Structure 1
């Protein structure tokens, strides 16, 4: 009889975070993952100086991260729809922690490659489950909040990671170690938060089958997704350029060798995007999509004028305008899909969207890296800018046609 209270305590279900607190915790973890993914960008210049590799090698290091991320999305993107959100998120956090340890001990390019591959796999596993969990936990009184956070978290995380790393590299000791140690501590906290999250996806059969790489979108969602493809490609291709070569362009074309400035280049784009998403969260989706695409094109044109004229202020102003377009595009894209997808469709749908986004994020940037090595940074940046601007114009046309048909 004396053991029954202990049995009762052991049988009592573990306390979970209330849904509003859990929603906030998931958003914070999302920002942390994206901050970790952008941290290497200001460090690439440092690694180049220490290890003496080319811009081509730099973009290959950038690309292996994206390859790992896309492979992870394809394999485990729908897994949380079957085994639950918490197990997949916990595994992703552990993987991210392993990658940060690899960064801490990296001493050459091969170690950097390994760290970025592991980080890509972990981030890919996290992104789709985080996006789906936000929708699951979305407060009933604010039906669009999950879409807003899904658009704000990536851009704000990228901005915070790049700016924070740039500041640490410029002003703090151990520039290639301290930032990773801080992120590692953050991942420990994220794992503790994950243990307290309520499970929002019931277990259902098909977990092993879901690991077969595939991209599937329910037929009823395809028209909406296809209409978003041009703006996804143009906005994420622009982000890929800034995160892979942005600091190098600032140093090589404008002579800005300060590492904080290298981080600020990324922050001007992504931070402006995050702020825009917050400010426009209640605006009509169709109008936001069209405005986002138009501002991407206009901002790219201003940036190109700054590069051609060697006027840093003009290039920076163009980056801010492009950032507004970047944030508006992300807000409207993820907001549209978050509202349309049913609970059992969310993991796989977000995986598809992120695959499209990160292919656009990586492939043009890799091509630009090869081109920069052979043709130089300036012509590469100019051609890349014209391509992104053209895609943004196409996105404006697609959204205008779709609005007219409606």
Structure 2
């Protein structure tokens, strides 16, 4: 890693300006596709798919949730699968071979299940093979996949030992997220209210994981472009990887990375990526569930991203966030009713006239993306956040 004698020095304000620009929040792009947004963000957190649709739409001028759905279920340029940290993400389909190879190379976390619940390495591989075979030709619900895996792997895979919401799940289900990270499973379109799964090779003929070292380099650089400047430790947190392993990985990319300083602390960017765009004012944005969560997990400590009251009011409640100049300055809630969406925004800082006008523009944009007529109320959000 390049460690210049006099490294570039950046303020947190600079970092916010970079983040807003690179994420398409400063100026929504007129020419980007949903897959381009997912690439720029190093994956879009999609635990709440409506939030992912809104997050992508906010970054593309004139886009709506229909455009995101078309990318997922029409041309399949986006794929919904298990990505960083084993959590649900939207990733560019063209980059999936790189992501799968990189995620497969991350040392597994410490086993969290009791010994009587776990699978042996051999059993895990047998389940992954069974999932891959079962999903080759179609889309299956979890119950249909359950039957197929037990049939192929053996009755032990169906032992009801995994703690679930109101009962027990079959043993094999602890490998579902791993199957996504290994590239043998992704999400299919919902069948009514039921989630389905399929094999990514159905939509990307010839799909194969890439070579490991180029894939790891791709993920590091994607992360740093989206969330840098950052440290190996923050990268490890974002990827749910061991800190020592991440430090060794950064060191192996000597010459590709550059050291900078952020508020006096050493961090890294992709070599040459030190530009700071001019801030856009007024900068007021309404980000959906998990959008600012990705900001925090990706890089900055909560104290910088969630200053003052925002730490207790927004961070701990996992609300949708009002962003002013790149930091969390409030929360908001939406309630859909037919063709209308009611937006309640609770600022935690005083908004000037220009910022309030921009908030109105953003509310209209949210309505456009959700394909509903918005009604904005500035007041207290009385409902709880997302679990």
| Structure 1 and Structure 2 fold alike (TM over 0.5) | no
> What TM-score results when the alignment is normalised by the length of structure 1?
0.23
Q: Which has the higher helix share?
A: 1
TM-score w.r.t. length of structure 2: 0.24
Q: Which gives a bigger RCO, structure 1 or 2 (Cα 8 Å, sep 6+)?
A: 1
More strand by share: 2
